[in-house]
Structure 1
Amino acid sequence: MTFNVHEPTISAEDTTPEFDFSQLNPDLILDAIESKQVYPESGLLALNSYENRVYQFKADDGNRYVVKFYRPKRWSNEQVQEEHDFAQLLADNDIDAVAPVRFDGQSLMEFKGYRFCLFPSVGGRMFELDDLDQLERLGQLLGRVHALSAESAFSYRDTIDIKTDLETAFEYLKQSQLIPNYLQAAFFNDLELMIQASLKHVTNDYQVIRLHGDCHSGNILWQPGQEQDDAILVDFDDCISGPAIQDLWMMLNGNRHQQILQLDTLIEGYEQFRPFDRSEFKLIEPLRARRMLMYMTWLAKRWQDPAFQRNFSWFNTDKYWEQQVLAIKEQFSALQQEPLKLGY
């Protein structure tokens, strides 16, 4: 089964109150950007982001930028700064990652109650999951990222705790009253089985390191180079601490044979720069279950935001929850199989 969610997930403990960006109008956006002596000469192109508000533009200095306005109260200032500092650390060590622009040493700015930052706009093609050459290059990139990130730790960012994340999200959905009455028994019974099956694979014997955290194809750009093409990481908004496999498993799709080939290719590239603990392979399906459940929770927690009701109108429908019952059954089945294993 393939289940790649291309939207950020939120901590199950997130208690962000109802909020929308209705006051973030074009004039305020332009005033915020110009407060840093950057002057747009093009219009603002809204990019595909629901958690935050993100716009691309060309400035009068000839450069293209992306401005990002953070959803209030989701992350603390310290957590946002760690996001910026982590991306900057990678960039400073010639690792392909996009870090925010700094103004007098400061990357996180505030304007009329909104926190924002500016990034250089980076071009590139979409990363192709079925291209083994690209997967090997990505493995090399992630090996370099993790070799550096393992040298220190986050102080403020969250840490993946599969058991707590699954159980807390389960309780939130149970209290949300979003699941139709006629589906509740089947949904929560199957969900509980999926969680129990996930926890059978979970141990705490893995090394916890700093991670990109949301490493899917939408957050990887493929850039042509003079000698060879390269992958570049963008959007560290969900950087987190946890097992290294979290930054690799979302690259796996298709049947079991295809996933083993993809994993083998990633690890081959990765281990040119850092050894990989293969015991973490048993966490792939529990992490997939975690992402499934936290995606549902993310939508539930954000449902009062008008942007979510416009763009995810299918969420509050019987059909959606019927599909989730089937998806949970499929994931439970995947958890019954032996973890992926390489032939060496």
Structure 2
Amino acid sequence: MDNLLIMGRFLGRIHAIGASRPFRHRPVLDSQSYGHASAEFLLRHFIPAELRPAYETLSRDLLERVDAIMAEPVDLLRVHGDCHVGNVLWRDETPNFVDFDDSRMAPAVQDIWMLLSGDRLEQTRQLAEVVDGYNEFYDFHPRELRSIEALRTLRIMHYSAWVARRWEDPAFPMAFTWFNTPRYWSEHILELREQLAALQEPPLLLM
């Protein structure tokens, strides 16, 4: 929990600068590029024939809900975009970011939700720690919490498409041996079904 407070302060400092001006050459994290384009590519080239009807119907229902959420007005700023613990290195009790490949214009909560884990109560407590530190340097808008499950859904879809688009590179089948198997796609669809349920739940609340 102490690390989450420090991470909140770190993100607040970064976002205060990130909000000062937009990216010039990087896109916006949106449902078209992360969701619709990913689903279309996977359906065309990777989803097994026997799973296509299920995936097509599911992705359509998911993206209808995601589109509605992402259309709600929120402030966009320069974010890291892939802020999970594997991309944060600690030295002398100070966090450092690596891997800026997914830096985009996005809501601030994109860099916050991936720091949360566990059940709803645990995530609520973790969120409070992050936001307490964050607000010392930049104001977090609680209305962005409604976007968390939409952003999680987009990340799941985008990640599968990201690997798939590189599958002809010999390094990828060697590194991602679990990818592009019938089991992988069945589990991917199950994960997206869980997201469909999550999108219908109330958002996290700040304590």
TM over 0.5: yes
Q: Gaps (5+ residues) in structure 1?
A: 1-131
The structure 1 residue matched to 2:54, chosen from 163, 168, 186, is: 186
Return the alpha-carbon distance in structure 2 between the equivalents of residues 233 and 165 of structure 1.
22
* 1:212 alignment counterpart: 80
Where does 1:48-127 land on structure 2 (aligned, <5 Å)? none
- Which of these two proteins has the greater Rg computed from alpha carbons? 1
- The structural deviation recorded for 1:163 is 4.2
* 1:121 alignment counterpart: none
Return the alpha-carbon distance in structure 1 between the equivalents of residues 128 and 97 of structure 2.
21
More strand by share: 1
* 2:131 alignment counterpart: 267
Return the alpha-carbon distance in structure 2 between the equivalents of residues 221 and 173 of structure 1.
33
1:284 aligns to what SS in structure 2?
helix
TM-score (norm 2): 0.95
* 1:138 alignment counterpart: 7
Letter in 1 for 2:85: S
Return the alpha-carbon distance in structure 1 between the equivalents of residues 31 and 132 of structure 2.
27
Q: Gaps (5+ residues) in structure 2?
A: none
The structure 1 residue matched to 2:167, chosen from 261, 284, 303, is: 303
> Could you give the per-residue CA deviations for residues 106-135 of structure 1, whole angstroms, max 9, x where no partner exists?
xxxxxxxxxxxxxxxxxxxxxxxxxx1001
* 1:38 alignment counterpart: none
- Bigger relative contact order, structure 1 or 2 (CA pairs below 8 A, ≥6 apart): 2
Letter in 2 for 1:136: L
Return the alpha-carbon distance in structure 1 between the equivalents of residues 102 and 189 of structure 2.
27
> Could you give the per-residue CA deviations for residues 183-218 of structure 1, whole angstroms, max 9, x where no partner exists?
111122122222222223223411111111111111
Return the alpha-carbon distance in structure 1 between the equivalents of residues 95 and 73 of structure 2.
30
> Could you give the per-residue CA deviations for residues 45-65 of structure 1, whole angstroms, max 9, x where no partner exists?
xxxxxxxxxxxxxxxxxxxxx
1:201 aligns to what SS in structure 2?
helix
Work out whether residues 7 and 95 of structure 2, in 8 Å CA contact, stay in contact via their aligned partners in 1. Answer: yes
Return the alpha-carbon distance in structure 1 between the equivalents of residues 68 and 117 of structure 2.
23
Letter in 2 for 1:259: Q
- The structural deviation recorded for 1:164 is 4.5
Identity across the alignment (%):
39
The structure 2 residue matched to 1:312, chosen from 153, 176, 192, is: 176
Could you list the structure 1 runs, at least 4 aligned residues long, displaced by more than 4 angstroms after superposition: none
Letter in 2 for 1:247: D
CA RMSD of aligned residues (A): 1.3
TM-score (norm 1): 0.58
Work out whether residues 12 and 136 of structure 2, in 8 Å CA contact, stay in contact via their aligned partners in 1. Answer: yes
Q: Does 1:158 align with 2:27?
A: yes
More helix by share: 2
Return the alpha-carbon distance in structure 2 between the equivalents of residues 240 and 164 of structure 1.
12
> Could you give the per-residue CA deviations for residues 146-191 of structure 1, whole angstroms, max 9, x where no partner exists?
1111111211111111245311211111211x21111111122122
